[in-house]
Amino acid sequence: MSRARKIGYFTAWSIYDRGYFPADVPVERLTHINYAFAKLENNRIQLGDAWADVDKPYSSTEYGQGDIKGNFGEFNNDNSPVRRRNPALRSLISVGGWSWSGGFSAMAASQHSRAEFVRSAGEFLQRYKFDGIDIDWEHPVEGGMDGNPHSPDDGRNYLQLLHELRHHLDTQLAPPRFGRYEITIATSAAPTVYRHLDLAAIAQVVDHINVMTYDYAGSWSKVTGHQQNLFRPSAGDSGINGNDTVSDYINRGVPAHKVVLGLGFYGRGFSNVDHHASPFPNLPGLGCAFSGVPPGTWEAGSFDYKALRKSHLLPGSDFTTHWDDAAKAPILYSANDRVLISFEDPVAVSWKADYVLKRGLGGIMIWELSQDYEGELLAKICEYLG
């Protein structure tokens, strides 16, 4: 059986309008849960949503007096029915993300502030019984949300932070349930962003690197394109694809078994697309100009796979699926609506899971679990990775 990691991000906000709870997670099919997100404030890790994280009572769970409630308790308490379904599940707290990465640059810039963060990380892991920490700094030196501070020294400071975090967790804390706290990071698939990191040196410190090999195309693009294609496409090439990114990480010194391929359980849409301008008739609308994005599932232009399965992919829908065999990626196109959606389906997922095995990669990372349709995409991953 494959030893590849199957890592799923669970978002705190999924328990609200999405109605997706820890008990809904197919934990039996995962090796890791990355809980998104804790935030960084005043150089310390803080709860991202106290109600969801530690306060919400779960009537289905029999807690003893003084034990943790909330989503943390569901995933981390040894008496939780969720954890009992997979006692080998490793849970990591993910810190930062797109919205909460603004404090990393200043925190990493000095030994004193790094020490504050490292101590708070240890306290957080012990208090809430996590098995490790996932640093999701988006992004050192350049990139990320508009207004986030950056420094030319971010890359060097990031490496130092990881070294200090590794030393503290290994030497200052009692071992966790699996013997050693894991440290992982989430990184960009864009060379213009990850070029600032000493990936080979980072790989010596962390357990694995979750590469966000998605969001290649979207509202920011000049023409329509695949948002997470594995190989170079027939048209609408954004200049990024999974294979080239993985190869570059390995060429920069990251062992293949520490590279984890990111996979998004969602699609990106484009409006006012004229398929008549498409250079490939069997891929209508791909590589064409567009204007704006259509309404999405929760935000404009972004569609949960679950939502696509319940509407766009049904017989009788205005949308037709087309397969780009060069990219190993599908698109949906409606000539009536003039809308193109780049998404991930079971066939594309199969190609990526097989690719992970053939290249000896560390596994697959999923953003994010609530977007799947009845566990369909995860099940396809498991057909290959066990």
Domain span at residue 166 reads 5-264+344-385
The tally of CA atoms less than 13 A away on the side-chain side of residue 370 is 20
pLDDT at position 68, please? Answer: 60
Please say if the pLDDT value at position 57 is more than 50.
Answer: yes
**What pTM value is reported for the model?**
0.95
**Which residues touch 153 (CB under 8 Å, ≥6 apart)?**
109
pLDDT at position 2, please? Answer: 60
pLDDT in tens, 73-85: 999 999 899 999 9
pLDDT in tens, 85-129: 999 999 999 999 999 999 999 999 999 999 999 999 999 999 999
The amino acid at residue 54 is V
Q: Phi and psi (nearest 5°) for 373?
A: -110, 105
Residue 318 lies in a domain: no
pLDDT at position 102, please? Answer: 96
Distance CA 348, CA 14 (A): 25
pLDDT in tens, 6-33: 999 999 999 999 999 999 999 999 999 9
Mean pLDDT of 255-280: 94
Please say if the pLDDT value at position 174 is more than 60.
Answer: yes
Residue 331 per-residue DSSP state: E
Distance CA 288, CA 278 (A): 6
Residue 163 lies in a domain: yes
Q: 123 to each of 4, 53, 128, 177, 201, how far by Cα in Å?
A: 29, 16, 9, 15, 26
Average pLDDT, the chain: 95
Q: What is the dihedral of CA 45, 132, 356, 196, to 10 degrees?
A: 40
Inter-residue contact 75 to 35 (CB < 8 Å): yes
Determine what percent of the chain is predicted with pLDDT higher than 90.
Answer: 92
pLDDT at position 277, please? Answer: 83
Question: Number of helices (H) and strands (E), helices first, in the chain?
Answer: 12, 14
Cα angle 340, 373, 21 (rounded to 5 degrees) comes to 125
Distance CA 247, CA 199 (A): 13
CATH number at residue 148: 3.20.20.80
pLDDT at position 276, please? Answer: 86
Residue 331 lies in a domain: no
Which sequence positions are flagged as catalytic? 138
Q: pLDDT-derived band of residue 61, with 50, 70 and 90 as boundaries?
A: very low
Residue 379 lies in a domain: yes
Q: pLDDT-derived band of residue 60, with 50, 70 and 90 as boundaries?
A: low
pLDDT in tens, 273-325: 988 888 888 999 999 999 999 999 999 999 999 999 999 999 999 999 999 99
Higher confidence at residue 78 or residue 365?
Answer: 365
Continuous segment of H or E residues that includes residue 381? helix 376-385
Q: What is the dihedral of CA 194, 12, 50, 106, to 10 degrees?
A: 10
Mean pLDDT of 257-269: 98
The tally of CA atoms less than 13 A away on the side-chain side of residue 318 is 8
pLDDT at position 274, please? Answer: 87
Residue 51 lies in a domain: yes
Q: Which of 38, 229, 205, 54 is nearest to 137 (CA)?
A: 38
Residue 292 lies in a domain: no
Distance CA 125, CA 61 (A): 21
Please say if the pLDDT value at position 1 is more than 80.
Answer: no
DSSP string, 216-267: SSSTT-SS---SS-SS--SS---S--HHHHHHHHHHTT--GGGEEEEEESEE
Helices 154-171 & 111-128 angle (0-180, nearest 10): 50
Provide the number of structural domains found in the chain: 1
Q: 31 to each of 3, 89, 381, how far by Cα in Å?
A: 9, 5, 12
Residue 247 lies in a domain: yes
CB atoms within 10 A of CB 223: 18
Higher confidence at residue 281 or residue 66?
Answer: 281
Residue 336 lies in a domain: no
